[in-house]
Amino acid sequence: MTRVVAIINQKGGVGKTTTTVNLCHALAESGKKVTVIDFDPQGHLAVSFGIITQDISGIDSVMLKEKTIEDVTVSVRKNLQLVPAGSKLKDVEHMSNHGSSRGILLRDSLRGQFDDQDFIFIDCPPSSGLLVANALIATDELLIPMAGDFLALQGLSHLMATVKRFEGALKKRYKVSVVISRFTSTRRISGQILNVLLSHFPNQILATVIRETSLLAECPSFGQTILEYSPQSRSARDFRDLANDFLENRVMTNDNK
């Protein structure tokens, strides 16, 4: 059965797109079939995969009911396909037609699609509007990238309040996993934040920490993932390990952090 996972954090700058691109490629490299939907109007996923985005249709056209999701899906790597954002996705956020069905457009567009895939990842925007609502309705599983700083921790509390509201309205419980990204062990605050997260998310933080390196910042400008740009680097190793954590549900504890 295909797992639909929303990669979400309402705060920007936490490594969400970096996590999405490289985790998806690592899973695909391991043999899993992966589809990733760029649900962020900034449209950075396509650029990170080396796709020219000018005049390209994407999930925007699907949400506006101009095309089907199959029409706009492109293969970007072996076992990995992308549904790009499209230039009109920012307009969808403020869409006033379709009435109460606006919140289920993504869920309905996925129905009966990608049944041959192991995973569908939805890269959400750093906001709490219509796009995020569509993602939360379309999935039962959340992956939350978290940077090791105080402001990221504040943003997480706002996100979890949103998640709780949706759980109450939809009468379901999300499977929540947290990935520690942009981590610098030399910052004392990073270790403190990690301890706070462990107390609030027991058995939910994936075991591998994504360490912050210049390589991760460089590779998108070349249209490559870290697995291509520097395949033997510790960053590439981090994401391969993270993919295994995700598949095997390996989590961090106070003993193995």
The CA-CA-CA angle for residues 204, 250, 135, to 5°, reads 50
Distance separating alpha carbons of residues 83 and 74, to the nearest angstrom: 6
pLDDT score of 95: 75
pLDDT score of 13: 74
Burial 60-80 (b: 16+ CB within 10 A, else e): bbbbbeebebeebbeebbebb
pLDDT score of 10: 81
In angstroms, how far is the first alpha carbon of the chain from the final one?
A: 31
Task: For residue range 125-167, list pLDDT tens digits in order.
Answer: 988 789 999 999 999 999 999 886 667 677 788 899 999 999 9
Residues of the chain scoring pLDDT < 50: 186
Q: Residue type for 252, please?
A: M
pLDDT score of 255: 65
Assigned CATH topology for domain 3-248: Rossmann fold (3.40.50)
Phi, psi of 143 (to 5 degrees): -120, 120
> Alpha helix (H) ranges present in 37-187?
44-48, 59-63, 89-92, 105-110, 130-138, 150-170
Domain ranges of the chain: 3-248
The CA-CA-CA angle for residues 166, 169, 173, to 5°, reads 60
pLDDT score of 224: 97
